[in-house]
Amino acid sequence: MFTPKSQKLGLETPHQDVPDEEMFVDAAPIGRLHMDTEGMVIHANPWWYALTGSTREQSSGDGWLKTVHPDDRGLIEAEWHTAVDEGREMSAQFRVLRTDGIELAVFMRAAPVETAGGDVAGFTAVLDDVTDRVRMQEALARSEARYRLLAEHSTDFISRHTPSGVYTYASPICETLLGYLPSELVGTSAYEHFHPDDLKRIAASHDRVLATPDISTVAYRIRRKDGTYTWFETTARTVRDEGSGEITEIIAVSRDITERRKAEETDRLEHLLYAKDRFLATVSHELRTPLTSLVGFAEILRTNSHSLTERERDEFIETLSRESADLAAIIDDLLVLTRADHGTLALASVPVDLKAQAAQVLEAMGLRDRIPIEVDGDPARAEGDPARIRQILRNLINNAIAYGEDPIRIQVGLDGATIHIAVINAGRPIPQEVGDRIFEPYHRVGGDSGKPDSMGLGLTVSRTLARLMGGQLTYEPGDGGNTFLLSLPALSNVVAIRP
């Protein structure tokens, strides 16, 4: 059997002289008041007494108004009397103060009760306890205020976007960073402000954000209001609807990294200048070594040829030939870098048998018996410049001899539309932290165990040539060895190569 909350609290039960149908309504978990034509309470249901802690006598007449919080009472009383005088409905939310001092929030809706003839016979008011809802709203408002306070005072630019990238919120710091007021950004697409050269990279990051729940970070240039560009680094992630899982918005946090980029660029230039100084010193040494031999042996042949045996003269001539070839190779590498930088390096584009080119290089270097050539099946011919392919192979072989260990071998094979030729040696693998930097201009790898330092010129030239022929040159460390892999388009998949 239903026990009114008022009885559970030990409060007086209401007058029971009401119609039977009202008894069921009175059992509902809401407050209910019945008034006469003057707006005076003649009946209150148990929930009203339980809600307010008041007695029947305290609530009768206009006593219910005394339960309204003092700060709200004047306004509610005025609105209530106006509604009674005009015989119309009234709805309002206000606070009530229970007899035990507890403050509650209620929503009241009062309506006139009319007779069949249309006259007002009295009023009925329904009151709902909305305290929990109000407290939740207040807590949410406080939480939003705290987050907004953080956003509005953060030195990072916090923004919200539609899934397509349109600003729906911009924190005030945007005026300092970009010169725009938040209202000037809201409603515009972020893509309107990005540097054209960075759009592809930003779009790729945007696609990653939409495709995965992971955070995506991207660095780019963004246009300020004055037309200048500044560097931003933005971290973004999506917000999804809890029910449908659909993306509702993107939240982004952006930081101005212009000064950091300037510092990085300064460091890069300083490193480049330092590397060039070392490079020039190394090149001078590399050029001086064959030149010294050339000058010395040429002078001996010129002044003392008559005192040399035929075998000695042949050895001197062979040395002159070898040193001349080394000197020509160094100069050729330097010219390749210079012409490639200026876009004036012309390349042929003809069918090339990589095995035959490798054999020719080994023959010229006198290494035919030392370095074997292994062919995987019957690979197709590559498309490229034979002379430049030989230059790449010569550099890779010299690199393997100078910085690697025997055995050294060459492998040729076909992989789909790409033909590979690899120069493999059994030397110690290049440190992982060095990675791809060995192909950078002027980079040096310190030698050990009596081996010389690498000045990086041959690898830089070789990768440049490979790319100009539509291919690639990569390094792959192995178990106790090194592999430099030249990849070129196979003849069946020829691409246009610009000189």
Instruction: Evaluate whether 182 touches 176 at the Cβ level (below 8 Å).
Output: no
C-alpha 60: how far from its chain's center?
67
Terminal-residue alpha carbon distance, the chain = 97
Strand, helix or coil at 211? helix
Token code pair at residue 248: 């509702």
So what's the pLDDT on residue 498? Answer: 35
CB 400, CB 408: distance < 8 Å? yes
Residue pair 358/439 in contact by the 8 Å Cβ criterion: no
Helix (H), strand (E) at residue 462: helix 457-468
Instruction: Tell me what pLDDT residue 433 has.
Output: 65
Q: What is the DSSP string of 333-357?
A: HHHHHHHHHHT------EEE-HHHH
Q: How far is CA 398 from CA 8, 69, 442, in A?
A: 98, 94, 17
Single-letter residue type at 450: G
Q: What is the pLDDT of residue 15?
A: 41
How far apart CA 397 and CA 408 sit, in angstroms, is: 8
> Which residues, 6 or more positions from 1, have their beta carbon under 8 angstroms from its beta carbon?
none
Q: Residue 170 is encoded by which pair of tokens?
A: 């911009």
* d(C-alpha 81, C-alpha 74), whole Å: 11
| Secondary structure string (H, E, C) spanning 283-296 | HHHHHHHHHHHHHH
pLDDT tens per residue, the chain (499 residues)?
A: 223 333 333 333 344 444 444 544 555 678 889 989 888 999 898 888 888 888 888 888 888 898 999 999 999 999 999 999 999 999 999 999 998 889 999 999 999 998 888 888 999 999 999 988 888 888 777 766 666 666 666 778 999 999 999 999 999 899 999 999 999 999 999 999 999 999 999 999 999 999 988 888 999 999 999 999 999 999 999 999 888 889 999 999 999 999 999 998 888 888 878 777 776 776 676 677 678 878 888 888 888 888 888 888 888 888 888 778 777 877 877 777 777 777 888 888 899 999 999 999 898 888 889 999 998 877 778 999 998 999 899 889 988 888 888 899 999 998 888 899 999 998 888 776 666 677 776 555 554 444 444 445 788 888 989 999 999 999 888 766 889 999 999 875 444 333 3
Assign domain 154-256 one CATH number from 3.50.50.60, 1.20.5.440, 3.30.450.20, 1.20.58.1690. Answer: 3.30.450.20
Give Cβ neighbours of residue 54 (< 8 Å, ≥ 6 apart): 48, 63, 64, 67, 99
Q: In what order do the strands lie in the sheet with 216-223?
A: 167-170, 157-161, 247-256, 229-240, 216-223
| DSSP 8-state assignment for residue 383 | E
Q: What is the CATH number of domain 350-493?
A: 3.30.565.10
Q: Which H or E run contains 420?
A: strand 418-425
* 5-135: CATH architecture: 2-Layer Sandwich (3.30)
Tell me where in the chain the CATH 3.30.450.20 domain(s) lie.
5-135, 154-256
What DSSP string describes 65-129?
GGGB-HHHHHHHHHHHHHHHHHT--EEEEEEEE-TTS-EEEEEEEEEEEE-TTS-EEEEEEEEEE
- Report the distance separating Cα 421 and Cα 379, nearest Å: 10
CB atoms closer than 10 angstroms to residue 100: 8
Q: CB-based contacts of 467: which residues, under 8 Å, 6+ apart?
A: 473
- Residue whose entry in the numeric block shows the structure tokens 């003849």: 491
At residue 119, φ and ψ (nearest 5 deg) are: -85, 150
What CA–CA distance (Å, rounded) separates 456 from 321? 25
Measuring CA to CA, which residue among 392, 401, 404 is closest to residue 458? 392
Q: Which fold has domain 262-342?
A: Helix Hairpins (1.10.287)
Among 290, 363, 358, which residue's Cα sits nearest to residue 320? 290
Task: Provide the residue type at 422 as one letter.
Answer: A
Q: How far apart are CA 452 and CA 425, in angstroms?
A: 17
DSSP 386-415: HHHHHHHHHHHHHHHHHHS-S--EEEEEEE
- Tell me 428's DSSP state: P
Calpha distance 483→485 (Å, rounded): 6
3-state class of 429 per DSSP? Answer: coil
What stretch(es) of the chain map to CATH 1.10.287.130? Answer: 262-342
Whether 145 contacts 139, CB under 8 Å: no
